[in-house]
Structure 1
């Protein structure tokens, strides 16, 4: 009971610290919100004690403290008007976000955390940092976009750990989010909301099925329905049309076409195809390999959760949403 109350307390601190960082009208208040958020999430990681969580919580604390120190230095320099450029603040935010070339801590962190903490790290922990970054985004962030796209797509190939694969996919999607942030505020917020929906459904299913490595996916004895749902969510994360994951990428590509930014668009599409390759490789192998349970009556067994089916249906709604938006326009 005490542990549950402690967990609820730190979850509340994590929630309200993000709200504090978003609603603050000055940079110092936002910085304070990020620091409270850091302490709350580090404590949540440390609650389940083993060698990996203690190491990862210390690593997360050190990296995030370094990013916060650089951010505070940039805030002081900007307030004293020593230099008008916000590149130091951008560097601190990039470190906290885990975007390339400051991405190596993100890979090892995702590997050592459980799925619920991975989900929080990939979604909630990025909200305040991305919002602060959108205030000072400029053309100098293009190098981070290019590096995130290249590292996130190539790094995920031949990974045996699903958590590492998800980390590299997150870095690749971070390149898309930063690029959409340079176009408009509404675009990156829509991208991040849809991305959060997809990664939440996929990680919850990973947690339910207790998948951590690829061999567990390929040689699993799950029912055909679970395999179908898992493959659908994987293809949605890769951005395969007509899945939901194609929708934010389609909106970003459309905006970049209107802005005539064709070179960067080609790089983004190429990196997305590489990401789709290592997702499709899992899906095709899983769906074509025979299972030890071959009877189709097991398709609707007691392990088939209604929530998983609903999340799978949500990930298949991308084409319907695109058609609806086109008809409205």
Structure 2
């Protein structure tokens, strides 16, 4: 279900709130942008009078209101108690971001959303919060809190998606896991977390667009879907492997670069947790992938009908992910 034209104004105000937050020169301006962003996203959640939409909107509003309260309180204390204020400010941002150890609300809100709403929550809503956290990285004593949140997000995001059949919950814990890579990259380079976020947004949005096209919300629905089409059989599992960071897909490129940066900066302990969590996430991505290849029927694939518009759009969605398969060839040409 896409958004109606009447909700286009809320989407524009949501983007305006993001721009105000990342371009403001004062804490008050940042707070105004975050509040505008929150109040624009809630009408996009309650697109219909539905129990699940209302529950998700209420949970999202309460958590964001609590985070905003901590944000305003810490901003007022900044001149008198700078260290305590900065710590409280970072805590409020981690809470609003949905990173561990304040991750409990994120999968529950995701369970009541449609796929277009989930795309906004997992991509656009993280931009101003990650930007403000990067502003706070100038304080050395906050780096320990950011590293702790990154390690916690890595393990919780990996272990949380193991025993679930809900695709939205799997994507939610996957987002928490990827937040760990972005948080740890803030301590190294501001430009690098932007690069990682770009790759993460493209790949996760591609997967959720495919889920929205096929209208699948559980693992059983995905397995029972049309297995007679080679495009359907291959696109979703290969994109999931790309999201998990399996080489040589596009999702491996930013992880490869971050691993090199962590080794150069001698951050071996966070690296061990990040790599261990990536192996666990690859396990439940492979659990989904193996069903597609086991249930594939070659005879039915050959005799399936050709659908040019669907082939064109799906090929366009996944072109970014598969482009990097040919990246090693560039090193041979140089």
TM-score range, shorter chain: over 0.9
Alignment CA distance shift 1:25-1:71 (3 Å): same
Aligned residue number for residue 101 of structure 1: 101
CA distance in 2, matches of 1:313, 1:322: 17
Alignment CA distance shift 1:309-1:259 (3 Å): same
CA distance in 2, matches of 1:6, 1:29: 27
Cα displacement (A) at 1:228: 0.5
One of 176, 185, 209 as aligned partner of 2:181: 176
Moved more, 61-70 or 285-294: 285-294
Alignment CA distance shift 1:291-1:220 (3 Å): farther
Alignment CA distance shift 1:282-1:4 (3 Å): closer
Aligned residue number for residue 300 of structure 1: 306
* Unaligned segments of structure 2, at least 5 residues: 138-142
Contact kept, 8 Å, 2:147 with 2:270, in 1: the verdict is no
SS in 2 for 1:298: coil
Aligned residue number for residue 47 of structure 1: 47
CA distance in 1, matches of 2:29, 2:281: 38
Alignment CA distance shift 1:75-1:293 (3 Å): farther
CA distance in 2, matches of 1:154, 1:176: 16
Alignment CA distance shift 1:306-1:262 (3 Å): same
Q: Deviation per CA, 1:24-73: give whole Å up to 9, x if none.
A: 11111011100000000001111222011011111111110101111111
Aligned residue number for residue 19 of structure 1: 19
Aligned residue number for residue 210 of structure 1: 215
Alignment CA distance shift 1:165-1:325 (3 Å): farther
CA distance in 1, matches of 2:18, 2:111: 25
Contact kept, 8 Å, 2:53 with 2:113, in 1: the verdict is yes
The two structures have a TM-score, normalised by structure 1, of: 0.94
Moved more, 83-92 or 180-189: 83-92
SS in 2 for 1:147: helix
Superposition CA RMSD, Å: 2.0
Matches within 5 A, 1:148-167: 148-167=153-172
SS in 2 for 1:84: helix
Aligned residue number for residue 140 of structure 2: none
Aligned residue number for residue 60 of structure 1: 60
Contact kept, 8 Å, 2:21 with 2:31, in 1: the verdict is yes
Q: How many residues align?
A: 325
Moved more, 314-323 or 126-135: 314-323
Cα displacement (A) at 1:142: 1.4
* Unaligned segments of structure 1, at least 5 residues: none
CA distance in 2, matches of 1:59, 1:220: 32
